[in-house]
């Protein structure tokens, strides 16, 4: 079932959640290892649940599971066995599901009427480049065979599907060949599932690996299981131009969730604060006007940013009425 379209029948904008690692760091989790935010699955899964809850409280309609960097190979590289690794991925889904259930149970019927009809848990599938932990998700500079990509991604997809995610979030994808392999795998092995597809881009017209955005979007337009398409993990100021280029090639809902404006150095794995960045409050109306229907935040964003997006959505709803 296409739950994104189901929700968009009653809402002009679906609000996606924000950064996980940033909020875990505030709660004392060290995210400097290759596992990044997935470290918390080992050390303190209850803190992941708390972060998900904070985003629902801020107005998010969609929670993205803490599995971007979590895969069986990555956990095994840290010394865990396969059974332990699989359990952690399942736990990541449970954290989001528990946060959703507890939060929505606390709402009144009037409050629920203002939220998504079907609040979603999207299972994050980061690229192979994220597993490399060297910034490759921002370059796409790696190459495997189709079978190798599919063998890498299948265990995580299967575990999250079994755990009951509402859809897959195929995100921060810099490499066209990998993304084709992923969507072919989903169509073959998970025909009942849907997914959003979110690219990592180097500019407003190209994926990080140099593939033209127009070519990539047009290619994935054929996949009925892809129920939204867009970009994430880019600077706020670059979003509008990318939306307009995507809009030319698709009738699917467009999803965007950029960083907060700070600048990332993949070599030192550190962020440099950008005090002159624009804000979500300033830019979200422009993104909506350009065609975005799902908007959230990626690295360094906070519940406050998501609350800003949700506020804009509510203002738009009042104007529509």
Q: One digit per residue, pLDDT tens: the chain, 321 residues?
A: 899 999 999 899 999 999 999 999 999 999 988 899 999 999 999 999 999 999 999 999 999 999 999 999 999 999 999 999 999 999 999 999 999 999 999 999 999 888 888 899 999 999 999 999 888 999 999 999 999 999 999 999 999 999 999 999 999 999 999 999 999 999 999 999 999 999 999 999 999 999 999 999 999 999 999 999 999 999 999 999 999 999 999 999 999 999 987 776 666 666 677 677 789 999 999 999 999 999 999 999 999 999 999 999 877 644 444
What pLDDT, on a 0 to 100 scale, did the predictor assign at position 196?
A: 98
Q: How far is residue 246's CA from residue 213's CA, in Å, rounded to a whole number?
A: 7
The response to whether 208 counts as a known ligand-binding position is: no
Residue with tokens 């995100």: 171
Check: CB of residue 166 under 8 Å from CB of residue 118: yes
Show the tokens assigned to 68: 């971007």
List the chain domain ranges.
Answer: 3-320
**Rounded to an integer, what distance in angstroms lies between the CA atom of residue 229 and that of residue 168?**
12
95 annotated as ligand-binding: no
CB atoms within 10 A of CB 105: 7
Q: What is the pLDDT of residue 113?
A: 85
Q: What local confidence, expressed as pLDDT, does residue 318 receive?
A: 46
Do the beta carbons of residue 156 and residue 125 sit within 8 Å? yes
pLDDT the model gives residue 272: 72
**Rounded alpha-carbon distances, angstroms, from residue 189 to 129, 148, 182, 186, 205:** 23, 16, 10, 5, 31
Distance CA 222, CA 105 (A): 38
Exposure of 171 by Cβ count < 10 A (0-12 exposed, 13-18 middle, 19+ buried)? buried
Q: Is the dihedral of CA 26, 29, 31, 35 positive or negative?
A: negative
Residues 5-25 as b or e (16 or more Cβ within 10 Å = b): eebbeebebbbbbbbbbbbbe
What is the reported pLDDT for 119?
94
Q: 3-state SS of the chain? A: CCHHHHHHCCCCCEEECCCCHHHHHHCCCCCCCCCHHHHHHHHCHHHHHHHHHHHHHHCCCEEECCCCCCCHHHHHHCCCCHHHHHHHHHHHHHHHHHHHHHHHHCCCHHHHHCCCCCCEEEEEECCHHHHHCCCHHHCCCCCCCHHHHHHHHHHHHHHHHHHCCCEEEEEEECCHHHHHHHHHHHHHHCCCCCEEEEECEEECCEECCCCEHHHHHHHHCCCCCEEEEEEECCCHHHHHHHHHHHHCCCCCCEEEECCCCCEEECCCCEEECCCCCCCHHHHHHHHHHHCEEEECCCCCCCHHHHHHHHHHHHHHHHHHC
d(CA 19, CA 132): 20
* Inter-residue contact 254 to 292 (CB < 8 Å): yes
Q: Tell me the per-residue pLDDT of 21-40, one tens digit each, with 9 for 90 and over.
A: 999 999 999 998 889 999 99
pLDDT for position 100: 98
CATH dotted code for 3-320 = 3.20.20.330
Beta bridge partners of 124: 169
């Amino acid at each position: 079932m296409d739950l994104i379209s189901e929700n968009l029948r009653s809402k002009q904008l679906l609000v996606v959640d924000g950064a996980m690692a940033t909020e875990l760091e505030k709660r004392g989790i060290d995210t400097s290892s290759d596992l990044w935010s997935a470290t918390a699955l080992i050390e303190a899964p209850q803190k992941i649940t708390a972060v998900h809850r904070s985003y629902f409280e801020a107005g998010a309609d969609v929670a993205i599971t803490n599995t971007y960097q979590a895969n069986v190979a990555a956990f095994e590289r840290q010394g865990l066995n396969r059974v332990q690794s699989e359990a952690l991925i399942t736990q990541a889904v449970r954290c989001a599901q528990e946060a959703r259930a507890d939060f929505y149970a606390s709402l009144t019927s009037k409050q629920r009427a203002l939220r998504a009809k079907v609040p979603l848990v999207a299972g994050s599938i980061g690229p192979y480049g994220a597993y490399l932990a060297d910034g490759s998700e921002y370059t796409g500079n790696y190459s495997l065979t189709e079978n190798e990509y599919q063998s890498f991604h299948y265990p995580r997809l299967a575990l999250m599907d079994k755990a009951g995610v509402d859809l897959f979030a195929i995100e921060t994808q810099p490499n066209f060949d990998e993304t084709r392999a992923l969507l072919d795998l989903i169509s073959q092995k998970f025909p009942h599932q849907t997914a959003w597809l979110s690219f990592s881009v180097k500019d407003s017209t190209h994926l990080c690996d140099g593939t033209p955005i127009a070519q990539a979007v047009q290619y994935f337009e054929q996949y009925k299981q892809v129920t939204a398409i867009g970009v994430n993990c880019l600077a706020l100021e670059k979003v509008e131009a990318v939306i307009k280029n995507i809009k030319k090639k698709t009738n699917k809902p467009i999803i965007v969730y950029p960083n907060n404006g700070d600048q990332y150095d993949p070599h030192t794995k550190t962020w440099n604060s950008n005090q002159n960045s624009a804000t979500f409050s300033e830019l979200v109306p422009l993104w909506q006007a350009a065609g975005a229907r799902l908007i959230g935040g990626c690295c360094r964003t906070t519940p406050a940013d998501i609350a800003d997006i949700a506020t804009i959505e509510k203002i738009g709803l009042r104007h529509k009425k």
